[in-house]
Chain A
Amino acid sequence: MSGGLLDVAGVGRHFGGVHALSDVSLRVTEGEVHALIGPNGAGKTTLIHQISGAQTPDAGTIRFAGEDVTRLSMHTRVTRGIARSWQVTNVFARFSALDNVALAVQGRRRDWGGSFRFWVPADAERAIVDEAAAWLAEVGLAGREAAIAGSLAHGEQRQLELALALATKPRLLLLDEPMAGMGPEESERVVGLIEHLGRKVTLLLVEHDMDAVFRLADRVSVLVGGRLIFTGLPDEVRAHPEVKKAYLGEELV
């Protein structure tokens, strides 16, 4: 059996006596949109932390594109092709939208010693500035280049966050509740954007909005109490009795 793009095998993580994740195994294949669902406190964000490198698991291994990345730092994993967004917007609030994305573009550059370039003004590096503007356009923020990130509307900040992650040119994009805190109109726009991205990059998507999940996902995994109880097609997940009981039922109440 050939390996997936991402292979999580037997990953465990505890905080003191609390087992946030127990023996979680998950495979994300190249090109798919894989949704991760589960009730609050199921360990979804904790799992994203282990994959992105924000935390290191206590047990198990994480392989990306065939390489064991379990012990690699977050910034090394980014250069391998794993990018992420946060549940709570995480951008450079005092920088302009363009400067935000320019940083992400610059981080990928390996010419002139990468960012150990001490002399040439960064503003004058057209290639970086132009590419940053192109990423802003890609997420629907054309015309907002000069706006200060912190002053953007909530939805726009989420779009900016996506541009930041995309500009690292990831092979796998981890999206942690990208629609969190959005109104229906903003959500609809971001769902459309994720649908568009899903055709270009492999996505692992944590999301609460079931309509969005069933619309976007090729496959769905269900995490309950730190254990992965099921992975399958959206229709299978919808029909699975344990899932209904553990998660979907909760929504119906």
Chain B
Amino acid sequence: MAASEKSALYRQSARRRALAVVALLVLAALPPLLQALGQDFYVSFAARILIFALAATSLNFIVGFGGMVAFGHAAFFGAGAYAVAILAERGVVSAFVAWPAAAALAGLLSLAVGAVSLRTRGVYFIMITLAFAQMIYYLFVSLQAWGGDDGLPLMARSSFGPLDLGDDAAFYWVALACLAGALFLLDRVAHARFGRVLQAIRENESRMEALGYPVAAYKLACFVIGGTLAGLAGALIANHGLLASPNLLHWTQSGTLLVMVIVGGVGALYGGFAGALTLLLLEEILAGFTVHWHMALGLLLLVVVFRAPRGVAAWLHGLFSRRGAK
């Protein structure tokens, strides 16, 4: 009886790896395909999906894998965007300097926010992460030197060696590489000692303390990994729209990312990706019909919560495995 059940610990399979490689190749072939179809605009749109997928994935690592419902992820996303814009204003336009700097800044910020917030849990953790994010939002809005309400524009996309990121296809590929790299990294982390510890903490925190684990330190490390990757996503989004906007820091942005995680699948490796894809596609399609597309989004959320509570990623996975079983 028990032997047929599987341990809740997250395991790799060769099949899943092969699927990931195929998906990556398909995604890489997208820009020439869209250009051949004369749909150049959608290359930029697809890049936007990839960037939000990265941001949502970084949040999913904290929420789904670390078990911490954080409601201030926009702070790290936005901080990454502003870091790139501010550096560009000072003449630092190399992606190889500015993007790591953006990620590092977001990482440091998440270290500070996490160190304080992780003293609380549950609803209090949600509120305190939200409070920190809003403090950072109002800080940037009030600083006229950095654009205030209007945000800080970029003159051009970051320089990236021989690659011209001004070309939407090139930028798309770089965003794809960032997302794929992050997913690969998080997959490795999930299966290593550290990931095993996080899964066990989510399952039974006090038991982990009693096995000698300083639980708080592991949760903080998880929070900082998520925050750092959000900073990288922020660097990309500033490049994408050539603007570091305070909207990126606003609490509704944190909410959008959280909705992406829930729709996509909390704790699923591809949950963030699935959520970003679903939400942004839906917005794109529905916005063409009506300005009240948020209504449809609300309905989608209801459907997901009741029909596929583990998210789109798990639902797709179920479809695949059923087909595989036949």
Contacts and interface: CB of A to CB of B under 8 A. Distances in A.
Interface of A: 52, 54, 73-76, 78-79, 83-84, 90-96, 99, 102-104, 106-109, 112, 114-123, 125, 146-148, 151-152, 164, 168
A164 B7 contact: no
A146 B3 CA distance: 6
Q: Report the interface size class on chain B.
A: 20 to 34
B37 to A, nearest CB: 41
B207 A107 contact: no
A116 B194 contact: yes
Contact of A121 (B7, B12, B215): B12
A148 B218 CA distance: 25
B3 A164 contact: no
B191 A95 contact: no
A12 B213 CA distance: 27
B211 A168 contact: yes
**Most A Cβ at <10 Å: residue of B12, B196, B203:** B196
The 6 closest A-B pairs by CB, nearest first: A78-B212, A94-B8, A96-B7, A147-B2, A117-B193, A151-B2
Given A106-B197, A147-B3, A92 B204 contact: yes
Contacts of B188: 118-119, 121
A244 B211 CA distance: 38
Interface in B181-205: 188-189, 191-197, 200, 203-204
B2 A146 contact: yes
A52 B207 CA distance: 12
A75 B215 contact: yes
A107 B212 contact: yes
Contacts of B200: 92, 95, 103
B187 to A, nearest CB: 10
22 contacts: A73-B209, A74-B209, A75-B209, A75-B210, A75-B214, A78-B209, A78-B212, A90-B206, A90-B207, A92-B8, A96-B7, A99-B9, A102-B196, A103-B197, A106-B197, A115-B197, A116-B194, A117-B192, A147-B2, A151-B2, A164-B211, A168-B211
B1 interface: yes
Interface of B: 1-3, 5-9, 11-12, 188-189, 191-197, 200, 203-204, 206-215, 218, 221
Contacts of B203: 92-95
A103 B196 contact: yes
Contacts of A119: 188-189, 192
A106 to B, nearest CB: 6
A75 to B, nearest CB: 5
Given A94-B8, A95-B7, A103-B200, A118 B213 contact: no
A21 B267 CA distance: 43
Contacts of B195: 118, 122
A27 B191 CA distance: 43
A122 B191 CA distance: 6
A92 B197 CA distance: 12
Given A75-B215, A117-B192, A148-B5, 18 more contacts: A73-B209, A74-B210, A75-B214, A78-B211, A91-B204, A92-B207, A94-B8, A94-B203, A95-B200, A96-B7, A103-B200, A103-B208, A106-B196, A106-B197, A119-B188, A123-B191, A148-B6, A151-B5
